[in-house]
Amino acid sequence: MHLAELLASSFRMAIPILLTALGAVYSERSGVVNIGLEGMMIVGSFWGALGSYFYGPYVGFLVAMLAGIVLAIIHAIASVTFKVDQIVSGVALNILAYGSSRFMSQAIFKMATTTPHVAGLVKINIPGADSVPYLKPLLTGISPIIIITILLVPISEFIINRTVFGLRLRAVGENPLAADTLGVNVFRMKYAGVLISGMLAGLAGAYLAMEHTGMYVEGMTQGKGYIALAAMIFGNWTPSGALMASLLFGFAESLSFRVVENSFIPYQFIKMIPYMLTLIVLAGFVRKSTPPAADGVPYERNAG
């Protein structure tokens, strides 16, 4: 087994988790728990494949992000405007995403669980990679999405910590009443947080379908939306924390692939590694991390 190869694979596995976890950071820092991320990834993977099938990969990614945003709008309307329990709304969206993708797949491709093969983006090779054979797996065949995602980490850190938007987003997640009395539009900030999370989760789903597998397959997200939530918590609601946590989960997942190839431990147990890791991490570390003070609490403007 090649170490560079394992690392490269870890990176590829970490990307969809990281993208979605970054989205979750925006949503939760605004005070909205978004358990519907899994569903937003599902629609992203299906609509990404659909867009790419008919109009090529660029349109595919755009359509996927739009699909994620549409689902996010539903989540925002339900949980921000109408103050439905955020978990209930999110779970409902996951069911909706699963059912609607299956339905659309059957209607358009006459296949309920997969789409035909679709094109991805042109892969990037870092010039000069051939001269360092050992690092070749890390430096060649890189999806542009990987680069965008990595860049999104410092960009998100900047947005959340240094900009007016970020300050207000965090304020709304910590104490919406205080923000409201200072003239911050609480609802607009929460909508923004949720919509950004939908867009990034949609992008993550499309990455899975177009860059990983080359097609949409039902159930291909394999709970990565939930793992992303775990990564965000593990990363203490920060983009850079989410990066570290996602890399850990990505590493666990790629390890589970490799181990299968040369081991006699039953395959099912190896497959459990990423999920067991999620459980252990959540059980062991959640107590030490601090969520935004008003996370998950619908904001009601109370005249009294």
Partner 1 sequence: MINAVEVKNITKRFPGVTANDRINLEIKRGEIHAIVGENGAGKSTLMKILSGLYQPDEGEIYIFGKKAVISSPVKAIEMKIGMVHQHFMLIPRFTVLENIILGSEIRAGISIDNKKAKKIVEDLCSMYNFSINLDSRVENISIGQAQRVEILKVLFRGADILVLDEPTAVLAPQEVKELFLNLRRLKQEGKTIVFISHKLDEVLDIADRITVLRRGRVVGSAVPGEITKEQLARMMVGKPVLIDLKKRETDPGEVLLSVKNLRVKDPGGKSVLNGISFEVKGGEIFGIAGIEGNGQKELAEAIIGLVNIDSGSIKIRNIDIKGLSVNQIRKMKVAYIPEDRHKNGLVLPMKVWENEIMGFQRDDKFYKKPLLKLKSAQDFTRSKIREYSISVSSINQAVEDLSGGNQQKVILARELSENPDVIIASQPTRGLDIGATEFVHEQLLKKRDEGKAILLISADLEEVLALSDRVGVMYNGSIIAEFKPGEITLEDVGIYMLGGPEKKVSGE
Q: Residue type for 255, please?
A: L
In the block, which residue shows the tokens 């090649």? 2
- Closest to partner 1 by CB, 14 or 186: 186
* DSSP letter assigned to residue 123: P
202 close to 47: Cβ distance less than 8 angstroms: yes
Q: Which is nearer to partner 1, 15 or 171 (CB)?
A: 171
Per-residue DSSP letter, 218: T
Measured from the CB of residue 297, what is the shortest distance to partner 1 in angstroms? 14
Give helix 37-55 / helix 224-234 axis angle, nearest 10°.
120
Nearer to partner 1, 171 or 230 (CB): 171
For 160-164, which contacts have Cβ atoms below 8 Å and span 24 or more sequence positions?
Answer: 160/25, 160/26, 160/29, 160/238, 160/239
Give the residues lining the site for partner 1 (CB under 8 A): 158, 162-165, 167-168, 170-171, 174-175, 177-184, 287, 290, 293, 303
The minimum distance between CB 29 and partner 1, in angstroms, equals 11
Cβ contacts of residue 55 below 8 Å, gap of 6+?
none
d(CA 274, CA 93): 24
Q: Cβ 172 to partner 1, closest distance in Å?
A: 10
Choice between 215 and 294, CB closer to partner 1: 294
- By beta-carbon proximity to partner 1, the closer residue of 101 and 238 is 238
Phi-psi group of 190: left, alpha or beta (phi > 0 → left; psi -120 to 50 → alpha; rest → beta): alpha
Cβ distance to partner 1 smaller for residue 54 or 165: 165
Nearest approach, Cβ of 303 to partner 1 (angstroms)? 7
CA angle, 103 as apex, 72 and 112 as ends, to 5°? Answer: 120
User: Least CB distance from residue 177 to partner 1, whole Å?
Assistant: 6
Q: Which is nearer to partner 1, 122 or 182 (CB)?
A: 182
Q: What are phi and psi of 114, to 5 degrees?
A: -140, 160
Closest distance to partner 1 from the beta carbon of 287 (Å): 8
Contact indicator for 72, 62 with CB cutoff of 8 Å: no
Extract the tokens encoding 31: 């005070």
Residue with tokens 């309920």: 112
Nearer to partner 1, 161 or 263 (CB): 161
Rounded to the nearest whole angstrom, what is the least distance from the CB of residue 61 to partner 1 in the complex?
Answer: 24
Q: What is the distance, to the nearest Å, from the Cα of residue 159 to the centroid of all Cα atoms in its chain? A: 18
CB of 289 to partner 1, least distance (A): 12
